[in-house]
Amino acid sequence: MTVYGLALDYSKVITVEPGKRSGKPCIRGLRITVYDILDYLASGMTHEQVLRDFPYLTEEDIQACLAFAADRERRTSFVGGEASIR
Protein backbone atom coordinates (compact mmCIF):
# COMPACT_ATOMS: atom_id res chain seq x y z
CA MET A 1 0.00 0.00 0.00
CA THR A 2 1.29 3.48 -0.72
CA VAL A 3 0.48 6.57 1.26
CA TYR A 4 1.44 9.83 -0.44
CA GLY A 5 3.87 7.92 -2.61
CA LEU A 6 5.55 6.13 0.32
CA ALA A 7 5.16 2.39 0.80
CA LEU A 8 3.48 1.46 4.08
CA ASP A 9 4.46 -2.04 5.23
CA TYR A 10 1.68 -2.96 7.66
CA SER A 11 3.12 -6.46 8.13
CA LYS A 12 5.44 -5.08 10.81
CA VAL A 13 2.48 -3.66 12.74
CA ILE A 14 -0.44 -6.02 12.12
CA THR A 15 -0.04 -9.44 13.74
CA VAL A 16 -2.17 -12.57 13.77
CA GLU A 17 -1.86 -15.04 16.63
CA PRO A 18 -4.28 -17.99 16.78
CA GLY A 19 -4.68 -17.78 20.57
CA LYS A 20 -5.24 -14.03 20.73
CA ARG A 21 -8.62 -12.44 19.97
CA SER A 22 -9.64 -15.60 18.09
CA GLY A 23 -6.89 -15.12 15.53
CA LYS A 24 -8.14 -11.73 14.36
CA PRO A 25 -5.55 -9.25 13.04
CA CYS A 26 -4.21 -7.23 15.99
CA ILE A 27 -1.88 -4.28 16.40
CA ARG A 28 1.69 -5.20 17.41
CA GLY A 29 0.58 -8.29 19.32
CA LEU A 30 -1.66 -6.22 21.57
CA ARG A 31 -5.24 -7.25 22.27
CA ILE A 32 -6.71 -4.46 20.14
CA THR A 33 -7.83 -5.55 16.69
CA VAL A 34 -7.77 -3.84 13.34
CA TYR A 35 -11.58 -4.05 13.43
CA ASP A 36 -11.65 -2.19 16.78
CA ILE A 37 -9.74 0.73 15.29
CA LEU A 38 -11.77 0.76 12.06
CA ASP A 39 -14.98 0.67 14.09
CA TYR A 40 -13.87 3.65 16.21
CA LEU A 41 -12.97 5.63 13.11
CA ALA A 42 -16.21 4.67 11.36
CA SER A 43 -18.19 5.83 14.38
CA GLY A 44 -16.70 9.29 13.97
CA MET A 45 -13.69 9.28 16.28
CA THR A 46 -10.69 11.15 14.98
CA HIS A 47 -7.19 9.73 14.96
CA GLU A 48 -6.37 12.09 17.82
CA GLN A 49 -9.28 10.78 19.91
CA VAL A 50 -8.27 7.17 19.32
CA LEU A 51 -4.67 7.97 20.28
CA ARG A 52 -5.82 9.82 23.39
CA ASP A 53 -8.03 6.88 24.47
CA PHE A 54 -5.29 4.34 23.68
CA PRO A 55 -1.98 6.05 24.50
CA TYR A 56 0.04 2.92 23.66
CA LEU A 57 -1.01 3.24 19.99
CA THR A 58 0.72 5.42 17.43
CA GLU A 59 -0.38 7.20 14.28
CA GLU A 60 1.57 4.55 12.37
CA ASP A 61 -0.63 1.88 13.99
CA ILE A 62 -3.77 3.61 12.73
CA GLN A 63 -2.31 4.03 9.25
CA ALA A 64 -1.34 0.34 9.26
CA CYS A 65 -4.95 -0.61 10.10
CA LEU A 66 -6.22 1.48 7.20
CA ALA A 67 -3.60 0.04 4.84
CA PHE A 68 -4.44 -3.50 5.97
CA ALA A 69 -8.17 -2.93 5.40
CA ALA A 70 -7.57 -1.34 1.99
CA ASP A 71 -5.34 -4.24 0.95
CA ARG A 72 -7.88 -6.77 2.16
CA GLU A 73 -10.67 -4.98 0.28
CA ARG A 74 -8.56 -4.87 -2.86
CA ARG A 75 -8.18 -8.66 -2.67
CA THR A 76 -11.91 -9.24 -2.17
CA SER A 77 -13.84 -10.49 -5.16
CA PHE A 78 -17.56 -10.90 -5.55
CA VAL A 79 -19.09 -14.08 -6.88
CA GLY A 80 -21.85 -13.76 -9.47
CA GLY A 81 -25.28 -13.62 -7.92
CA GLU A 82 -24.18 -11.95 -4.68
CA ALA A 83 -26.04 -8.85 -3.63
CA SER A 84 -24.24 -5.62 -4.39
CA ILE A 85 -23.06 -3.33 -1.61
CA ARG A 86 -25.05 -0.13 -1.37
Q: How confident is the model at residue 52 (pLDDT cuts 50, 70, 90)?
A: very high
Instruction: Return the pLDDT at 77.
Output: 67
Instruction: Return the pLDDT at 73.
Output: 85
- Distance set, CA 56 to CA 14, 32, 72 (Å): 15, 11, 25
42, pLDDT greater than 60: yes
13, pLDDT greater than 70: yes
In order of their start, the domains of the chain are 2-73 (1.10.10.10)
- Asked if residues 50 and 40 have their Cβ atoms less than 8 Å apart, the reply is yes
